[in-house]
Amino acid sequence: MKALYVIFTLSALLSLQTELFAQNWNLVWSDEFNGNAVGPDWVFETGAGGWGNNELEYYRAENASVSGGNLLLTAKKENYGGASYTSVRMKTQGRKSWKYGKIEARIATPSFNGAWPAFWMLGDNISSVGWPKCGEIDIMEHVNTGNADFGTIHWDNNGHQSYSNSTNVNSGITGFHTYTIIWTDQSIKWLVDGTQYAEANIANGVNGTEEFQKNFFILLNFAIGGQWPGYNIDNNAFPNQMKVDYVRVYQAGSTPPPATGGVTTVYKDCNFGGYAVGLPVGNYAYGDLYARGIANEDISSIKVNSGYEVVLCENDNLTGATLTIPAGENSCLVAQGWNDRTTSLIVRAASGVPAFTRTIQAEDYSAMLGVQKEGTSDAGGGLNVGYIDNNDWMAYNSINFPTSGNYKIEYRVASMYGGNRISLDLNAGSIQLGTTDIPSTGGWQNWTTVSRTVNVNAGTYNLGIFAAIGGFNLNWIRITRIGNARTSSEEAEMVTSSNNISSDGLGLFPNPVENELYINSSEDLTGGYISVVDVMGREVLKESNTFGVLNVSKLESGVYTLSAVSKEGNKTTRRFIKH
């Protein structure tokens, strides 16, 4: 093996890191895996036979799926086609290929004895010249256990040649990380989460590397066993998955890419030049910005939509000195001393409207205390509990909604029996706020908290709660205006849609969230559990019997993925933002 890489001093590496982002990168192709099936740019390779490495799996298209915004490559311990395992190998050959660019994917890799996941590229001309004359670029490979990620190239120079380097992935390789190459006519550089760890010189085809001056296509696969990982397979690790959040290809160009939607747009250069990236409401650590193509300390101007504001943070994870850019601002950051200074940021609804929350106890029937309870003959079960029989209702007088906009109405109930339905309204049914089906909570004191998002005009109303089907113990009702000033139609649409159950059967509200996250699921989660992982893939919270509400107040600010797993093992996932 001929080494193409020299050891750099720390200052040289930092200089290289700056050079990586001096380029204007245009997004030319991506697969975000946001649909329900694998997209048309992918071709599946199928079969067994070792694939040149004495691997043990049979590759099947059926082992690939898209769920919760991720591509899932699933390996199974099963006999099929003469092999003892099945898995996935897919490629863009014949559909998409590129010469040079920034090619990256955000991947959570499996890690067990026998695992060999990979994100890599092959030359378009492999069918005519074969391997290794076509060239191979391995962007990410991981074998067995541990945290090592390998970057490698293979080529022909009077025989097979290769260069490889590796790095240990911080915080564990099984979490999501961004694996990248920066490929030009001069060099190939490997990065993990924006940090370079290796470089190969290919300038002028040095050492026979002219293969890397041609088009390459992308491959993703999850091999089991083979010459590199060996054959001591951990059969208790199956089924297992390689998860891919996205694959993106950028190429150099002087024309900045279009903004990608959101309520603010950040720009690389002053006067709104260079690349432009749109951001929706949320908290963005450095890793979150990098995943969207925004380099560290690289923002020079910003536009903020009406009704929103942006808090720029000097350090990662929303720490250090800050600068707030107000609503409607179109600003070059030089005057404020913030040119090329931002490492993380917050996009949020504009300040100015005070928070509003009101909690109403469901008083005992005999005390009344302003509570109207009509058509009932049962006083219910104890202090501060109101019992509502089938077709009964309670009304709470003179409830003030101080501003027009979206409100969260929560109520804490318990029931012994299933098939229940609660209906809400204002002013004795003149304004219908919707119904909610509630399964049995398993006892009259086994409480569950239910919430709805409603849009209400400012004013004072009587709030009614009606037992359309079944009966309930009612403990309290809480009314909260959503956010500080989320009254614009743009923000209202975002908040309302976040509460709807999507096609995969899972809805989360509010999103972004501060304290309690409410979970709507088309599946009965009784006997199942809720799992929350952070952007690094680490499980930070796991609860069973949440009854539709999850306390996330102790989580740090950031982006998380929630998985709702039923008793039968059915799993749906959804991302949320923790303020």
Q: Could you please report the per-residue DSSP string of 78-104?
A: EEETTEEEEE-EEE-TTT--BSSEEEE
Instruction: Give the active site residues.
Output: 136, 141
Q: Are strands 83-87 and 57-59 parallel, antiparallel or unpaired?
A: parallel
Q: Is 299 helix (H, G, I), strand (E, B) or coil?
A: coil
Rounded distance between C-alpha atoms, residue 312 and residue 289, angstroms: 12
Rounded distance between C-alpha atoms, residue 154 and residue 133, angstroms: 9
Contact 58, 102 (CB under 8 A): no
Residue 28, strand partner residues = none
Tell me which DSSP letter residue 25 carries: E
Tell me which DSSP letter residue 291 carries: H
Name the one residue in this structure whose structure tokens are 């160009």. Answer: 253
Nearest to 252, CA basis, from 184, 309, 195, 206: 184
Rounded distance between C-alpha atoms, residue 506 and residue 514, angstroms: 19
CA 166 from chain center: how many Å? 27
- Give CA angle at 262 (261, 268), nearest 5°: 80
Residue type, 219: L
**What tokens were used for 47?**
């079969």
Nearest to 267, CA basis, from 303, 304, 319: 303
